[in-house]
Amino acid sequence: MTIKALLRQPYLPGLPLGDYLDQIGKRFPDFGRVLWFDRKGAAEALAGLSATTNEFETNDDDGRGDSYRRAQLNRMIRARGMRTLFTLAAGVPDMESIPPGWTLLDLLGGDGLLARVFASMAPRPHHAVITSDMAGHMVAAALHAGLPAIRQQAQFLFMRDESVDAALLAYGTHHIAPEDRLGVCQEAARVLRPGGRLVLHDFEAGAPAALWFSEVVHRYSRAGHSYHHFTAAEMAGHLKLSGLGSVLVRRVYDPLVIRGGSAAEARNLLADYLFDMYGLTGLAFPQTSLDDLRQTVWKLAQYHFAHSAKYAPDDAGPEWKREPVVYRDGAEWVAEIPRVALVAVGEK
Ligand SMILES: C[S@@+](CC[C@H](N)C(=O)[O-])C[C@H]1O[C@@H](n2cnc3c(N)ncnc32)[C@H](O)[C@@H]1O
C-alpha cells in the first residue's frame, strides 16, 4: 500500500490516519517523532485493527464500553495500586523521585485513566503517560481529554525501537490470548530504551480477584469473562524470553477504595462502581430495587474477596485488609475491597 493510501485508512472514529498524525504532530511533537506507521507489516496491522472489536469498543447495547467508561469517572478508586505500578515502572521509591521527561507507555490504557491518575500524583505534571489501546472509542476519549494516545494492538506497535522509558501491561492482561502473550512482551521490550522497565500486572490465576472474574463477572455480565489469568512462572518466563533482566515477580496490594459521607453511602458507591465496571447487568431484574441490587453486589464482593488461604499474612504488605470493609476515617467513611495483584518487573 502506498503511503498516501495508508494515510486515508480509517483509524479512529471519524478520523483517518493522516488526520490523526497531523493532530499528534501539532499537539504532542515529541510523541509524534517516535511514531512508525510505515513500519513493515503496518498496513496489515491497521487493517486488522479496524476488523477487530472487543467488548470495550462497544456500548451498553452489546458490550461493556459505556458502563466501563462511566465507572471510570470515579478515577481514584484504584489509585493505590496504580501508584505502586508507576514507581515500579520508574524504579524509584516514590512519585516525587520520578524524573522530569520520563515516559511510560500504558499498553492497555483504555480511555487514559492511568494517565489522569498519574497527572494527579506527579509532582511536576507533564504528559508522562502515553495511552495505547486497540479500541478506537477509548483512544478517541483519551485524545479528547487532551492526552497523548495511540490506537494499536499490543501485539504490533506503531512505534520505533527504544522510544519510551517504561511500558505497562495492566488491568486487563488476561484479555490477551495466552498464545499472544510472549509476542506482546517482546513488542513492549522492543520499544523500551536501554535501562527501561516493563511492568506486567494481573490477578493471579486461582486468587480471589481472579475468582471474582470467573464466578461473578463471567456469570452476570453480558460479555462474559472467560479468560486465563497469569501465573507467576508465566510472567517471569515471558519477561526473560523478551530479553529482560533483573526479573522479579511480587504481590502488590491493589484495593478498590471509595469515600462517602456515611457508611451506607461509601458502601453503595462501591457497589455501584462494581456493577458498572464489570457490567453486571445479569443481577438486575425489572423487579429488583436499587437497594437490593447494591446489597447483592456487596454480598458477592464480601464472599469473593474474603481472605484467601493462598496468601501468607505479609504477602501483600501491612495495609492489606483481609475482607471488604467499611470504616471511618476522620469525617469520612471509607469502603475498601482488598485485591492482591501479581506484578512482574523486568529491565532492558
Ligand atoms: C480492563 S480495560 C483497562 C483500561 C484501563 N487501563 C483501566 O485500568 O481502566 C482493558 C483495555 O485493554 C484493551 N485491550 C485488550 N486487549 C488488547 C490488546 N491486545 N491490545 C491493545 N489493547 C487491548 C481494551 O480495549 C480495554 O480498553
Q: What average pLDDT does the structure give for the chain?
A: 90
What is the domain class of 3-254 according to CATH? Answer: alpha beta
Among 111, 134, 256, the mutation site with the greatest number of ligand 1 atoms within 8 A of its Cβ is 134
User: Whose grid coordinates read 504490533?
Assistant: 156
Using CB distances shorter than 6 Å, the residues near ligand 1 are 54, 56, 72, 108-110, 113-114, 133-135, 138, 153-155, 171-172, 175-176
C-alpha of residue 133 to centroid of ligand 1, in Å: 6
Distance (Å) from CA 63 to ligand 1 centroid: 14
Q: How far apart are CA 74 and CA 65, in angstroms?
A: 15
Tell me the sheet residues that pair with 256. Answer: 337
Q: How much is the average pLDDT of 191-202? A: 98
Q: How far is the CA of 175 from the centre of ligand 1 (A)?
A: 8
Residue with CA closest to ligand 1 atom 1 = 172
**Ligand 1 binding pocket mutation candidate from 175, 179, 181, 254 (most atoms within 8 A of CB):** 175
Residue nearest to atom 25 of ligand 1 (CA): 135
pLDDT at 154: 98
Between the CA atoms of 334, 337, 342 and 344, what dihedral angle is there, to the nearest 10 degrees?
-20
* Alpha-carbon gap, residue 155 to 135, rounded angstroms: 14
pLDDT for 225 beyond 60: yes
What pLDDT is stored for residue 319 in this prediction? 82
Q: How confident is the model at residue 58 (pLDDT cuts 50, 70, 90)?
A: low
Separation between Cα atoms, residue 294 and residue 297, nearest integer Å: 5
pLDDT level of residue 254 (50, 70, 90 thresholds): very high
Ligand 1 atom having least distance to the Cα of 180: 19
Residue from 12, 50, 56 to probe ligand 1 pocket by mutation (most atoms less than 8 Å from CB): 56
Using only C-alpha atoms, the chain has a radius of gyration, in whole angstroms, of 20
Give the span between the Cα atoms of 347 and 181, in whole angstroms: 18
Q: How far does the centroid of ligand 1 lie from the alpha carbon of residue 43, in Å?
A: 22
Grid cell of 329 as nine digits: 476515617
For the segment 130-145, the average pLDDT, to the nearest whole number, is 96
Give the percent of the chain with pLDDT over 90. Answer: 70
CA distance 66 to 305: 26
> Distance between CA atoms of 73 and 113, rounded to whole angstroms?
9
- Cα 106 to averaged position of ligand 1 atoms, centre (Å): 9
CA 345 to centroid of ligand 1, rounded, Å: 19
Interacting residues of 131 by C-beta distance below 8 A, sequence separation 6+: 106, 109, 110, 111, 112, 114, 115, 139, 142, 147, 148, 149, 150
Say what the pLDDT of residue 1 is: 72
Q: Which residue's alpha carbon is at the smallest distance from atom 15 of ligand 1?
A: 175
The domain segmentation of the chain, as residue ranges, is 3-254, 256-342
